[in-house]
Amino acid sequence: MDLFENKVILITGGTGSFGKACVEKLLKKHDPKAIRIFSRDELKQWEMRQQFSDNPKLRFFIGDVRDSERLKRAIEGVDFVIHAAALKQVPACEYNPIEAVKTNVNGAINVINACLDNNVEKVIALSTDKAANPINMYGATKLCSDRLFAQSNSYQGPNRHTKFSVVRYGNVMGSRGSVIPLFNEQKKNKVLTLTNENMTRFWITIPKAVDFVLESFEIMQGGELFVPKIPSMKLVDLARAIAPRAKIKIIGLRPGEKIHEDLLTKEESNRTFELGDRYIVFSDSLDGWKDKINLYKGIKPVDEDFNYNSLGNENYLTIDQMKKILKKNDL
pLDDT tens digit string along 72-96? 999 999 999 999 999 999 999 999 9
Domain assignment of residue 256, yes or no: no
pLDDT at 296: 95
DSSP code at position 269: G
Domain assignment of residue 61, yes or no: yes
Under 8 Å between Cβ of 172 and 128: no
Q: Identify residue 133 by its one-letter amino acid code.
A: N
Return the number of other C-beta atoms located less than 10 Å from residue 190's C-beta. 10
In angstroms, the Cα distances linking 74 to 39, 46, 88, 121 are 11, 18, 23, 15
Domain assignment of residue 126, yes or no: yes
pLDDT at 184: 93
pLDDT in tens, 32-64: 999 999 999 999 999 999 999 999 999 999 999
pLDDT at 101: 98
> Which residues of the chain fall short of a pLDDT of 50?
none
Q: How much is the mean pLDDT over the chain?
A: 95
Domain assignment of residue 183, yes or no: no
Q: How far is Cα 184 from Cα 205, in angstroms, rounded to an integer?
A: 16
Domain assignment of residue 238, yes or no: no
Phi, psi angles (nearest 5°) of residue 67 = -100, 100
Which pTM value belongs to this model? 0.96
DSSP string, 114-160: HHHHTT-SEEEEEEEGGGSS--SHHHHHHHHHHHHHHHGGG--BTTB
Domain assignment of residue 137, yes or no: yes
Positions marked catalytic = 130
The count of domains in the chain is: 1
Domain assignment of residue 189, yes or no: no
Domain assignment of residue 297, yes or no: yes
pLDDT in tens, 151-181: 999 987 777 789 999 999 999 997 877 899 9
Q: How far is Cα 112 from Cα 107, in angstroms, rounded to an integer?
A: 9
CATH number of the structural domain spanning residue 124: 3.40.50.720
Structural domain containing residue 163: 8-170+203-230+264-309
DSSP string, 4-69: TTT-EEEEETTTSHHHHHHHHHHHHH---SEEEEEES-HHHHHHHHHHTTT-TTEEEEE--TT-HH
**Distance from the first to the final alpha carbon of the chain:** 35
pLDDT at 103: 98
Rg (the chain; Cα; Å):
20
